[in-house]
Amino acid sequence: MTMIRMTKLIFLVLLTFNALAQNTKAPEYISLSKQKVYDIEIIVFAYDTPLPNAQTYGNKPIYDTSLAYELDFKPDGMSTIKKAEVQENSSQYTIDIDGKGDSILALAWFEHDSSKFQLTNIWDKLQNNQNTTPLIHRAWRQPQTAFKSPQFVKVNSITQDNNNEYDREVSYTDNTILGQVALSKGRYLHFTNQLNLFRSINATNEKGYMDELQNLVFSLTERKQVKSRELHYFDNPWFGTLVKITRYKGEIHDE
């Protein structure tokens, strides 16, 4: 086997392994009497501020998002809500609380399309602002997760096929976002950002000559208490997020 064929084989094996490693979460039904379900909408944006000196700036760690969920859009034919099915002669029964209870199941862990966005006007304002560059606008539905072990959702501005996460030798496109976010519930509801921003620069070497493109790596690490139906703002000097969390109660008209 020639070296070229061997190299191609290794590349195909690695590509296949990377595809299998994606932690895609299939939509599932959640009992609204047992767990609260929320719609999350997020905008990620960068500030158009001067970058620090690449010779003295220390890049931030890159988050490991290998356990974060990748979400798909709701499959055709799946209802957003349905009534729980109880088998005859079963010892299980439903308790109807406020007309819902176990009788209502809500579909969760799926991506919303843009028709469900509530923050489009803010996205438009960020686009027209000379000091900001909007990067990501997404929304999805999920249940709350445990505060001590939150389930993260991956938030990237690159496709899976081009995803070379955690490889510092890769030069990402300017203003690339890689990372994850989580909604968790302890005593209160919390939202966590673990995001990296990659800024592409032309660095100079010791002799003053231009080297190949390099990345400066910034991070947004913030968790704070949040409330449903309110707009929440997270940022640092380089980039930030705007997040709105809305509790979903299984309204019939949402089909």
Quick: pLDDT tens for 33-89: 899 999 999 999 999 999 998 888 999 999 999 999 999 999 998 999 988 765 444
CA atoms within 13 A on the CB side of 167: 8
pLDDT for 85: 66
> Residue 56: phi, psi to the nearest 5?
-115, -15
8 Å CB contact between 226 and 232: yes
Pairing of strands 189-204, 210-225: antiparallel
**How do residues 12-26 score in pLDDT, each as one tens digit?**
333 333 433 469 999
Mean pLDDT of 113-132: 97
**Rounded to whole angstroms, how far apart are CA atoms 21 and 166?**
14
Entry pTM: 0.81
Whether the predicted pLDDT of 98 surpasses 70 = no
**How do residues 163-218 score in pLDDT, each as one tens digit?**
455 555 567 889 999 999 999 999 999 999 999 999 998 766 555 555 667 899 99
pLDDT for 188: 95
